[in-house]
Copies of this chain bind each other. A is one copy, B any other.
Amino acid sequence: MTQDSRRTDHGPTIYEVAERAGVSIATVSRTLRGTGPVAPETRRRVLEAAEALRFTPSRAGVSLAEGRHAATGIVFPDLSGPYYAEVLMGCEEVASELGRSMIVLSTRGRSEVPRLVRDLAGRVDGLVVFGGTVPDDLLAELAGGGHPLVLIASAPLPGADLVAAENHDSAVRLAEHLVGHGHRTFTLLGAGDGSDIAQRWRGVTGVLERLGLPAGAPVPCAFTVEGGYAAGRELLARTGRPDAVVCADDQIALGVLLAAEELGLSVPADVAVTGWDDIMAARHARPALTTVRQPMRELGARAARALDELIGGERTGSRHQTLPTELVVRASCGTHPLEEA
């Protein structure tokens, strides 16, 4: 075939450097990676040859010889919205400091996820995986196969680390704040498959039940602006409209805001709306969205560090980390006589 006859990166090899410097490849390797003793003059010649040839060790060769990839993989549902991108940033930054490359894989709308994940696992030293992206049995298989695994925002898995933002308690604070505004009938928007969403709802309904207020089941809704808009139109148009719509994330809440505006409803006078995540748009929406801020960047950074520990063998058992969240009170949950900015 004429197709595939050319190969990637026909750069110089260690042999060419060795020849040019008049030494063996062993000496080149030792010199360049600083392992073992090298005479100053020899060292100079090797460095010069490597420089002249612009030698870069073949990654495949190094990986094969070292038995490691110096890379970590990360699996998300998708990268839309600020949440995942922020986590990725945190992760990539730390990984880079630790000398590892980051390979990304998004699974949403993709067939053959298991094949893709297996392939990914084969080219990294460990995996960061968002909850809900990879079937549990595959995860178990990977963990069992000795692949270091860190889960983010996921249900726990034996043998894998877990990094998550605190959900329950901040949901309690949010609910109490809303009750404090006088809201009495609540709708929970966004039925979550993920355990993190479930924890939030447990926190909210706990408060309501304690106060003897009605707490209906979460209403299913796509986790997008469009999803929130559609659900909002449906919800706010009917009689018996709730005092407060507590949304599973900010995007849903933004959609509800749109729906309310279109229906001529005033937020928060007619209905309060809250989100979760504190994405950029939450701050700029009018009314600005009351929400719960997750330390997204930090989530990623912690995951990268935890993975490094696992890979380095510094730690054997798995560990669960829960990061604190922050209730961000803005205008959409009710009037705030004092803290109005």
Contacts and interface: CB of A to CB of B under 8 A. Distances in A.
Interface stretch (A17-25, A99-107, A129-137): A99-107
A41 interface: no
B85 A79 contact: yes
A80 interface: yes
Nearest to A281: B281
Interface stretch (A58-66, A157-165, A201-209, A239-247): A58-66
Contact of A85 (B9, B82, B283, B285): B82
Contact of A89 (B67, B68, B78, B225): B78
A238 interface: no
A93 B64 contact: no
A123 B145 contact: no
A149 to B, nearest CB: 13
A69 B59 contact: yes
Contacts of A68: 7-8
Interface string A115-137: 01011111101100000000000
A60 B64 contact: yes
A74 B67 CA distance: 25
Given A106-B93, A141-B54, A9 B101 contact: no
Interface string A276-319: 00011101111000000000000000000000000111000000
B61 A64 contact: yes
Nearest to A115: B56
B78 A284 contact: no
Contacts of A125: 8-9
A198 interface: no
A216 interface: no
A11 interface: yes
Contact of A104 (B88, B123, B285, B311): B88
A286 to B, nearest CB: 3
B88 A96 contact: no
Contact of A105 (B63, B85, B101): B101
A120 to B, nearest CB: 7
Contact of A257 (B116, B119, B284): B284
* Leading 9 A-B pairs by shortest Cβ distance: A286-B286, A7-B67, A85-B85, A281-B281, A60-B63, A59-B123, A60-B64, A284-B285, A79-B89
